[in-house]
Chains A and B, each alone.
Chain A
Amino acid sequence: MIGELIELQTLEASDDRIWCVAWNPTGTLLASCGSDKIIKIWGREGERNWICKSTMTDSHTRSIRSVAWSYCGNRLASGGFDAKVSIWERQGQEFVLQTTLEGHENEVKDVAFSRSGLYLATCGRDKSVWIWEYNEEENDFACAAVLTTHTQDVKNLKWHPQKDILASCSYDDTIKIYIEDSDDWSCASSLESHTSTVWACDFDATGKRLVSCSDDKTVKIWQAYEKNNQQGIRSTNGVYPVWKCVCTISGYHKQPIYDVKWCPLTGLIATACGDNSIRIFREEESKQTDAPPSFSLIASNTHAHSQDVNRLSFNPKEAGLLASCSDDGTVKLWRIEQKLI
């Protein structure tokens, strides 16, 4: 293989499952959460060592499934199986509970802030996606839309890297794209190709491509075709871009793939799998301009954790620094090295 995944540090985060890890936008802090209902914030101590800087308890009464940072880095959202979304505000070294958003009927599965800082999206087992609008004067969030396009449990959310466009993945095997149109949010397209639960998706740096991973053990690359595109791909409604699956990566994963991330700095794709592995894929340079994209495995660790790997997070500032978390209760930090041929 032409790359290497080097383990830097293991953080003993919990005795229980760790569901999620997320870097803050400056890449200086890492948040983790899990079944022990605790959020931990990890930061650097000296040059190499990462330690727990603060711990938030008593906010959720059940497993915390997901944590996300606002783009300004001063706010953190957490979503739990207790149907609640908590908003935390950074005050110096500490994080203080600012507000709790209620509305979901049962388990909240994911939370995500938009790049613009205007919106927070949440989703869950009640099949809905909620969009909350931030009001600066009141320093509070109000519900702007409840989207009920999915027919099953909604697992994961991802905002476009530049625009207020949202993608959601579901147990109904589809990905939906939502766009705001004259103050109204609606589903602009449905991406259908996976044959089982879509656990996660991620945009590339341009926002024109999307990667998704599934219980069907494949990873798919989707491409957006704007209206009047040169390839002549027709949009069904004539307005919104059409998303087409342009590549399927299969045969590598032995168990469900729980997370996929597309690094905006390096363009590498990383997957977190139920077979305890982390795999790194790189796009092959194409000889023809209109050839479909292809990806090859450049590095992997089949024993990255001793149990399922649940989530990954690429450090947004330090290229090749990756965080992972697992059912084994640990958070691990990795460095991806690409060798030149």
Chain B
Amino acid sequence: MAAAGSGWAAVCEKFRTARTLSAVESRKDPETEPYRSKYSARALLQEVKQLLSAAEEGGEARLLAVRRAVLEYELGVNHTDTEELSAGEEHLQRCTQLLQPHRLSPDCVSLYIQAQNNLGILWSERDEIKTAQTYLESAEALYNQYMKEDGNPPLDPSEHFMAEEEKLTDQERSKRFEKAYTHTLYYLAQVYQHLGMIEKAAQYCHTTLKRQLEYCGYYPVEWALNAATLSQYYLSKQCFMESRHCLAAASVIFSQAGQVPSAEDNETEQDQQDLRQRKAEIARCWIKYCLNLLQSARKLLEDNIGELDPDRQSELKAQRKKEEDEKEKGRKKVVLFGTSDICDSVLAMEEKVSSVYPLDFQEAREIFLVGQNYVQEAKEFFQVDGYVTDHIEIVQDHSALFKVLAFFEEDYERRCKMHKRRIDMLEPVCADLNPQYYLLISRQLQFELADTYYEMMDLKVAIGNRLEELDSHTIKKINSLAQLAIKYYELFLDSLRNPDKVFPEQLEEDVLRPAMVAKFHIARLYGKLITSDSKKQLENMQTSLEYYTFLVDYCDKYPDAVHAIETELELSREMVGLLPTRMERLRAKLCPFI
């Protein structure tokens, strides 16, 4: 060795000090001199570089080149850390040039990948994401090639300045190398996200999570939240199996968080509180899972008027039988989380809820119940006192679960009772909520309550139609449900008025459709009110006509609105044409002699 003996030891010592300064000391630097330690580290690295050049004569060229590359790398990172990007780039480029011929050998591969990672970061800071992408992708490719051709645990860059006896174990080497590669994937996930390559970004997030588990590089709570959030991405893609896998893994890993004492081990009340909140957050992801699975199944099963289509149902059931055998194959496509132990727990967790579309009430009910359990769990933390918005969102989900379950229920009376449950949970919060602070939620609740009453009224009408004739009790019920629906639609419409109680001339884009639907439904509701008093009936028809006319006039005035409510508009036009004749006939009956 060229710089043998104490000289080399001193060099190593300097290098080590520089690294400590850079990584540890720099975090304690004062705000006024944020880079003090980094600058000292830089000076030391420069010295090491000098010493190295002095020893140049008898040395092995290759060894020297690699050592120089290590220094160039450290200097490159140092300069980028201190916001001197151009200088940093030069150093990193020199590093990769020195390593280029040896990049596939065990003593260089890790350093080369890390240099590429840093070049990626550097270019991203210049908002040149495409350039960053090329560096990171080439780092990824190099890792894969190395693992295919060699695969032995490669040297960690820091080892080039270590005495022989300090060198790392193979296990430690492998750990560090894999970590560097995990970072590559993690940066790529960000790059793809920035480039709008959503699917690829998700895939890289998934792989990063998977590798964190494999190499034990994770905080359970953070990991669980990431996995739970990723499950929501899969939901939006209707990939229920993947979504469930993420959630099951999140729940399993989260349960570790409570057991393992945290590093500091001073569990304050705050930490406990945080932990409970995270648990509730994961529960909320599960709720969404159940809800989406049910809603998607409903979409598959419903006919053109939104009722369960029995033909479609048996068709799908037959199809499912066929697919059951294929299921095992599909399973393998999913990127599974965890090694055997964790994996077993995750699979056990998955057993508890299906990931295939429910096709009848029984199957739907099982998913509903799982969702409802998570509603309770989430509510334990997100109580209305202190977490108004979150609490109400959970109540809304609960209501939505009932709504979709009702779709699968054949018995109209029981279906009606499910909607009544929704009313019972929504009405009290809606009454208490102050719209000055919660305008949006307040509107959502009013609208949902109106819709629910509307739906219940329709069910009562359907039940009534099966009878020989409507009894007075049913009529009263229908009318009162219709009145309540009208009340909440009106409350919603009132919330659109300005402080002087004037309804807006032109509706904002975000409330256009709900406002029009509210008007349309009110018109229909007045048409459905049952009365034996013909004068009253005439009045109701008149009101109904006014609301239909509103829709028609509005769309004549603002043709842009038409696209939002095409079907409703068509029906309204029809009614505006029909109603006056009907009213005329009724009037004629009332006063036959005029």
Bound together: no
